[in-house]
A and B are shown apart, each in its own frame.
Chain A
């Protein structure tokens, strides 16, 4: 009996000791556990622990050792490097407010971000980039408790035609893209000057007239994805609730007519004689025939602007 007693007491003491030890070791344990984070991209499996050296060498300068976007270069950069501890990402294939997929992050690392200081990291091996994705994820606990959002599927791109471009323009009006991006896509809409990002820093809308590539890619599919999912952390909202896939393609085609490079869409728009619609005109019939000799970039005079 006595030995049983002693055994019991010894057990209790051991349990208590382990408990107190483990609470003291939480940070180390947590870090190790976080470094067990994985990323799955196609057949690749990225391991956070394998990316520590590359991260320190290539990423920490801007994104910081702690992934908080406070690297030593950060003060000089605009837009600011992403703070990975917040797990909010612009380039996603998933609904607004949800986590991106591992593939989304992998694509961003490979592609880089246009109009920012984030270069393409394609020179690193596929495996190294997958590892970095896992490392990016290890900075936020959100990845442990939450799954990526459901991917917004992109149907195959239909053939472009005049009807679709006209429908796209109507949608540009209806969704009021011009409020920020401007009637002609010149980033000079009435709300453009007041925009701020989620850290309350000023941010500009995309100017379709002087840029060929978008923040999250250069392809038609990328453009489709950008406005359907929105860019979290910026004023750009998600449109997937109110735009059907077919309509989304119409809008893609219209937006392509606004861009500086030669596109098939631009050619069709030219043949159509497509002009930007002035949203502030009281009634289309009421507009007098060009009384102003010198049209300005004001929306009021857009109707009369020579191409």
Chain B
């Protein structure tokens, strides 16, 4: 009998312990995801000379060739500004995000425009299940043909979008760095959709990027460039304090 009472005590004690643990953990979760997330800013630099970018001959599409007559366009594999800033680099948090921050889907609906037979933007960041819109500003037909990794969680599709056609609304269901997008009618058209979990930033003409609303914590940041690959670095973000992280890619 005595022993049974001891067992009952043990059961009650362990139940209480579990409850306390659950309570503490839930409190911790609330504390860990405050609205006042800090931002991570930084600059992406290119060391060395940017590889030669081929001029694009659009003579097969007179409407687009006319647009670029005064200002000929080139490929955009590596776009470096005058100060060595590297454009179109996606910076995202590859490790360290907790559940809620990791699974949050950005509410913005970015636009992937086809203009002058080029993709604008050339590189776009997205969260899984974040909606994006494909638009056609050209007087010509395009076929929008994203090519995720075959056999992976995202699937290739290919849709025609004639001039004046309504936008195509779509999402990607899983992270993927990166999905190449092409147009078969205009083989020079090339762009990338970079699908990552959590907040991300894309570098601008001067190479600077900003990742907003990062909860305090220690993270691994990854910077991705379409031909120069990826780079990572550790970063610690304190509550309400903007953090900085710079990356340097070496020209191949």
Task: Write the residues of chain A forming the contact surface with B, with a CB cutoff of 8 angstroms.
Answer: 1, 83, 85-88, 95-98, 140, 142, 174-176, 179-180, 190-191, 194-196, 198-199, 230, 232-239, 241-242, 280
B156 adjacent to A85 (CB under 8 Å): no
A238 adjacent to B156 (CB under 8 Å): no
Who on chain A is nearest to B150 by CB?
A86
Nearest-CB distance from A169 to chain B (Å)?
15
B160 adjacent to A238 (CB under 8 Å): yes
CB-based A-B contact count at 8 angstroms? 86
B157 adjacent to A97 (CB under 8 Å): yes
Among A179, A233, A234, A237, chain B packs the most CB atoms within 10 A around the CB of: A237
Who on chain B is nearest to A238 by CB?
B159
A236 adjacent to B187 (CB under 8 Å): no
What's the Cα separation between A233 and B103 when bound, in Å?
31
The yes or no answer to B155 lying at the interface (CB within 8 A) is yes
The 8 closest A-B pairs by CB, nearest first: A97-B157, A235-B184, A237-B143, A176-B141, A194-B187, A237-B160, A190-B60, A96-B157
Chain B residues with CB below 8 A from A85, complex form: 151
Chain A residues with CB below 8 A from B168, complex form: 241
Who on chain A is nearest to B60 by CB?
A190
**Known interface pairs A1-B3, A190-B60, A198-B147. Does A180 touch B185 (Cβ–Cβ under 8 Å)?**
yes
Proximity bits, B44-64, A CB within 8 Å = 1, else 0: 000000000000000011100
Chain B residues with CB below 8 A from A199, complex form: 150
Chain A residues with CB below 8 A from B145, complex form: 235, 237
Chain B residues with CB below 8 A from A1, complex form: 3
What's the Cα separation between A306 and B9 when bound, in Å?
102
Chain B residues with CB below 8 A from A87, complex form: 151
What's the Cα separation between A230 and B155 when bound, in Å?
14
Contact of B158 among A191, A230, A242 (CB under 8 A): A230
Contact of A96 among B158, B166, B184 (CB under 8 A): B158
B:159-173 near A, CB below 8 Å? 159-162, 165-166, 168
A88 adjacent to B155 (CB under 8 Å): yes
B141 adjacent to A179 (CB under 8 Å): yes
Query: Can you give 18 A-B contacts (C-beta < 8 A)?
Result: A83-B150, A85-B151, A88-B156, A96-B158, A194-B187, A195-B184, A196-B184, A198-B150, A198-B156, A230-B159, A232-B156, A234-B158, A235-B145, A235-B185, A236-B158, A237-B159, A241-B160, A242-B160
Interface size on B, residues (CB 8 A): 27
A175 adjacent to B158 (CB under 8 Å): no
Chain A residues with CB below 8 A from B151, complex form: 85-87, 140
What's the Cα separation between A241 and B158 when bound, in Å?
11
The yes or no answer to B137 lying at the interface (CB within 8 A) is no
Chain B residues with CB below 8 A from A232, complex form: 156-158
What's the Cα separation between A83 and B62 when bound, in Å?
38
A176 adjacent to B159 (CB under 8 Å): no
Chain B residues with CB below 8 A from A234, complex form: 158
Chain A residues with CB below 8 A from B155, complex form: 88, 97-98, 142
Who on chain A is nearest to B141 by CB?
A176
B:20-62 near A, CB below 8 Å? 60-62
B:59-113 near A, CB below 8 Å? 60-62
The yes or no answer to B186 lying at the interface (CB within 8 A) is yes
B186 adjacent to A191 (CB under 8 Å): yes
B184 adjacent to A242 (CB under 8 Å): no
If A1-B3, A241-B161 are given as contacts, then 12 extra A-B residue pairs at C-beta distance below 8 Å, sorted by A number, are: A86-B151, A176-B140, A176-B162, A179-B141, A190-B60, A191-B60, A191-B187, A194-B184, A230-B159, A235-B143, A242-B162, A242-B166
